[in-house]
């Protein structure tokens, strides 16, 4: 990982919540967007994904599909063991930016012949002091502790 211009890592992973074997939630703090660009990027009307969100979703799906045994003597992980039994996987990423919170949910069914990875922006919340609201914070905590199931994805046949 490359150090940020302030001498720290640009992305911090804070908490992993395994709500069930096929739906995990991860909270991250993303310092990779400079404050000067933050408002213009976040407030733009275009849908976008942050690099940190894509990397987090890929890592969550990998961990949902594979168990990595830890060798305590060597302080390193061993060979991954497949634990995926089939069915759809869901990863919810709650990203904290400067004064804002994004909730992105991704779904994938690796057992399909042609798997499709679907990203959905489920929430964008403003947490600046000028518009701070207790209900908004409760909504974010709800996404972290008990996320809703993803919307069904329509596939072309």
Output the pLDDT for position 22.
Answer: 87
Report the distance separating Cα 116 and Cα 34, nearest Å. 32
Q: What is the pLDDT of residues 61-92, one digit of tens each?
A: 999 999 888 877 887 878 888 889 889 999 99
Q: What percent of the chain has pLDDT over 90?
A: 20
The DSSP secondary-structure symbol of 129 reads G
The CA distance from 17 to 76, in Å, is 22
Q: Is the pLDDT of residue 134 over 90?
A: no
- Sign of torsion, CA 9 11 17 18? negative
Mean pLDDT of all residues in 19-46: 72
* pLDDT bucket at 105, cuts 50 / 70 / 90: very high
Strands 23-30 and 66-67: unpaired
User: Average of pLDDT values for 31-47?
Assistant: 61
Largest CA distance in the chain: 51
For the chain, the average pLDDT equals 80
Q: What is the pLDDT of residue 8?
A: 56
Residue 62 pLDDT = 92
Residue 2 confidence (pLDDT)? 42
Q: Which two tokens stand for residue 132?
A: 């701070």
User: For the chain, give me the number of helices (H) and strands (E)?
Assistant: 3, 9
**pTM for the predicted model, two decimal places:** 0.77
- Give the pLDDT confidence of 113-131 residue by residue, as tens digits: 998 999 988 888 888 878 7
| Res 153 pLDDT > 90 | no
Give 147's contacts (C-beta < 8 A, 6+ positions apart): 19, 23, 25, 92, 105
């Amino acid at each position: 990982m490359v150090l940020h211009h302030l001498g720290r890592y640009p992305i911090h992973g804070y908490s992993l919540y395994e709500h069930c074997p096929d739906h995990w939630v991860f909270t991250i703090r993303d310092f990779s967007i400079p404050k000067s660009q933050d408002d213009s990027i976040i407030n733009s009307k275009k849908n976008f994904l942050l690099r940190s969100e894509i990397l987090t979703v890929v890592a969550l799906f990998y961990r949902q599909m594979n168990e990595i045994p830890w060798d305590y003597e060597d302080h390193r992980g061993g060979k991954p063991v497949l634990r995926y039994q089939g069915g759809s996987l869901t990863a919810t990423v709650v990203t904290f930016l400067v004064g804002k919170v994004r909730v992105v949910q991704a779904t994938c069914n690796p057992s399909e012949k042609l798997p499709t990875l679907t990203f959905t922006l489920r929430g964008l919340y403003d947490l600046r002091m000028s518009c701070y609201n207790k209900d908004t914070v409760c909504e974010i905590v709800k996404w972290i502790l008990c996320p809703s199931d993803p919307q069904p994805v329509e596939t072309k046949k």
